[in-house]
Structures are given as C-alpha cells and as structure tokens.
Amino acid sequence: MSRSSIARTIRALRVDSPATPRPVGAGGPVTPRLGWTRLPLPRRPHRAAMGALLFLLVQPPPQAMALLVGAGLAGSRQAIVDVLGDTLSAGPCPRRIVSLSPSVTEILFVLGVDSSRIVGVTRFCDYPPAAQRRPVVGGIVDPSPEVILVQRPDLVLAVRGNPRPLLGQLGRLGLPVFAFDDRTGLRGVGEMMETVAAVSCPDDPARADSVVAWFRGALAAYESWASAIPPAERPTVYYADPEFPTWTAGAGSHIDDLMRMAGGVNLAGALPGWPQMSLERIILDQPRFLLLALPGDQDPARAYKELMAKPGWSGLAALRERRICWIPAARLQRPGPRLVGVLGELAACLHPDRACPVVADPAGIVRTAGTR
C-alpha cells in the first residue's frame, strides 16, 4: 500500500472537532494534567478508506509467523486499563510495537523485548544504542501517522507528551494505543516498568521480573539510607536545566524523589509538578547545591560559563563556588531504569563523606539492554 493511499485513509477518518473526555475509573474525569482526550469515531467512514484500512491492518507481514514462533510469543496479555481510563483488550502478545517516547523505548529494551519487535521509535530514542537502529516515526510532539501505519503495529505505546489528536486518530484507524503518565515519582516509574512488561510480553520474562525487582530494591536501599541522615545534615538543592534555569522540579516529580532519596531537600519541594521560580526567590533562598541537567552536546565548563553569563545568576553562591551536581540530561530527565545510577551519583555529590548504598546489578540489567 502506498504512502499516498495511507494519507487518504487518514484524511477520510479524521475528526477535527474536540471531544468530551472519557471517564477514568468509576466515572471520574480524565486527570487535568494529562490534557488528553479520546476522539469519537465517525459514524459513516468512507467505504474506500475503510477498504484501504482493512487491507493495511489485516494483511500480515511476511515474517509474522516466524517472529511469533521464534520469539516464543504464543502467550497472551490480559486486559489492562491505561492512564486515560481506556482498556487495552486481552489478546495475543504484540509482535510489532511502536514507541512514541524515549523512556518507554528504553524500558522495552531493558525489559528484554527483542529489538525486531520494536518497529518504530522517535528520533529522540537514543538509548540503548540498538534503539538508534530502529525505524523512526517522527518526534515526540510530531510523530507521523502515515509512517506509523506503514510499520503495521499491533501496539502503540504513548505518553503524556504525545499529541492527543494523533492518539485519537490512531485509535480510529484500529490501532491499539496504550498511554502512560511518565510525569511521576520514582515509585511510579517502577509501576510504569511493570505495566510496560504486562502489555509488551517481554521475550525473557525472568529478566523483566529481575529488572522491576532490582529497580524497586534500589529505591528501598536509598530510602533507608537517606532516612538515617539527620535533617540538619540534609543540604537544600535546586534543580535546573541550564537552558531554562527558572523552571524546576517540584513535589511528585521523579527529580524531587531523587533529591530526597539522595539525602537532600528540594528547594521547590513545596510546589507541585514542574513549576517556575523567580530568580529573585532562588537567590533569596540560596540553595546549598545545584543539580544541573548537562546538555548532551556540552561539557560542564561550557555550560557553567553560559549559566554564569545569564543576568543575575552569579548571585547564587552555589554557582560561584561550583557546588554543582552535573548529571547528563538524557539520564536525569528521562524516567527509566538508569535513574538508579543517577541516584548514586547525586548521593555521592551531596554527601561525599558518607558511604552510599551499593546496589548490585549481577545480571548487567542496564549494561546489556538492547543486545538481543
């Protein structure tokens, strides 16, 4: 089927008017911070469009049966409800998965989903290296429905940052879409990993179980370690991306949890979500440490120089005296299993004289991701 035919199919099924949000659970509204809705099905889809769609979705890829047998996916998944309150029906394990989020892509690989089953990722999915060899379907906010359809997925995994019209569009085209809220705390990241395993049917279930247990065990170890630090010895920490330094992480975010479990106190901990603080307030509060997300294309010296050059920022003693915990942005900002390593680095930065927990990874869970 040509790409122009797919485009005509999409245009024929498109609904441009907004829809009423679907309920979550027992009749409650969709959580406002997600900002997603499910769009209604058109009552009378164009016949030619439906015929083209049927051809696209029913025609199996040539290697489908070989993949099914070779990957050992003869099992099935149970019905499960996503963060929008929509149910992913029980059925066969997915053979062709499209991921619209770098965090979900990373989790799929680390859980042991065979790379041949991941048939679409975003241009930002750069870890593990094997993810960079998978077909690209666009970005996080601008994935292409035409390219997604060409991959003939039987499961599309999405997150909050993906555009809601696209998700509704894919659903109307008959593609199973499952959505996560990745704006969550560290325990929520563990739950997301468990749910990814439930909907994706990893090729190595034992490895997937080990990953989730390892992640939760690491959090418990640091929680216990941090609880033994007297409040007077917990330094205040301000998190920022040097490019947008007044935007920070507040309560309920995984970065807030990182600071707390690493023995620190979040300067913005009384604010919810991902708030903006005025420079005047930050300088008035004078955090003991700065936790800065290091851009992927910069070294700390250059990022430091640029931040010092921003008007007013030299008023921060922590910046002038270089009390800075630099963590690469791709690991710090992405909810996933590598946050265990980030937790260790941050704890060592805030408490260099304290022995941090040693979290063993005997199976090389993160190191061996994507080698299948």
CATH assignment of the domain containing 342: 3.40.50.1980
Q: 128 and 162: one domain? A: yes
Distance of CA 59 to the CA centre of its chain: 31
Instruction: Please give the structure tokens belonging to residue 337.
Output: 């299993």
Closest residue by Cα to residue 147 from 155, 137, 156? 137
277: number of Cβ within 10 Å? 18
Residue at 232: amino acid letter: A
Q: 187 and 238: one domain? A: no
Range of the domain at 291: 229-350
**What's the domain count of the chain?**
2
265: number of Cβ within 10 Å? 16
Q: 184 and 233: one domain? A: no
Look at residue 309 and tell me if it is in a domain.
yes
154 Cβ neighbours under 8 A, 6+ residues apart: 92, 94, 95, 96, 97, 175, 176
Q: 172 and 78: one domain? A: yes
- φ, ψ at 216 (rounded to 5°): -65, -35
Look at residue 215 and tell me if it is in a domain.
no
Instruction: Please give the structure tokens belonging to residue 79.
Output: 């019905």
Q: 52 and 127: one domain? A: yes
The confidence score (pLDDT) of residue 71 equals 36
Q: How far apart are CA 232 and CA 288, in angstroms?
A: 12
The confidence score (pLDDT) of residue 14 equals 47
Q: How far apart are CA 306 and CA 300, in angstroms?
A: 10
Q: How far apart are CA 344 and CA 261, in angstroms?
A: 10
Helix (H) or strand (E) segment spanning residue 97? strand 97-99
The confidence score (pLDDT) of residue 72 equals 39
Burial of 18 (0-12, 13-18, 19+ CB in 10 A): exposed
Residue 331 near residue 240 (C-beta atoms within 8 A): no
Q: 165 and 29: one domain? A: yes
Beta strand extents in 218-347 (DSSP E only): 236-240, 265-266, 289-294, 324-328
Burial of 230 (0-12, 13-18, 19+ CB in 10 A): exposed
Walk along the chain (372 residues) and give the pLDDT tens digit of each residue: 555 555 555 554 443 333 333 332 333 332 333 333 333 333 344 443 444 443 343 333 333 322 333 333 546 788 898 887 878 888 899 999 999 999 999 999 999 999 999 999 999 999 999 999 999 999 999 999 999 999 999 999 999 889 989 999 999 999 999 999 999 999 999 999 999 999 999 999 999 999 999 999 999 999 999 999 999 999 999 999 999 999 999 999 999 999 999 999 999 999 999 999 999 999 999 999 999 999 887 889 999 999 999 999 999 999 999 999 999 999 999 999 999 999 999 999 999 999 999 887 755 665 655 544
Q: Which residues pair with 294 in a beta bridge?
A: 328
Closest residue by Cα to residue 36 from 161, 216, 171? 161
Look at residue 217 and tell me if it is in a domain.
no
Residues 148, 150, 154, CA angle at the centre, nearest 5°? 65
The confidence score (pLDDT) of residue 89 equals 85
Of 168, 203, 238, which closes a domain?
Answer: 203
Q: How far apart are CA 367 and CA 220, in angstroms?
A: 21
Q: How far apart are CA 227 and CA 214, in angstroms?
A: 20
Q: 144 and 103: one domain? A: yes
Q: How far apart are CA 57 and CA 46, in angstroms?
A: 16
Residue 200 near residue 108 (C-beta atoms within 8 A): yes
Look at residue 336 and tell me if it is in a domain.
yes
The confidence score (pLDDT) of residue 28 equals 33
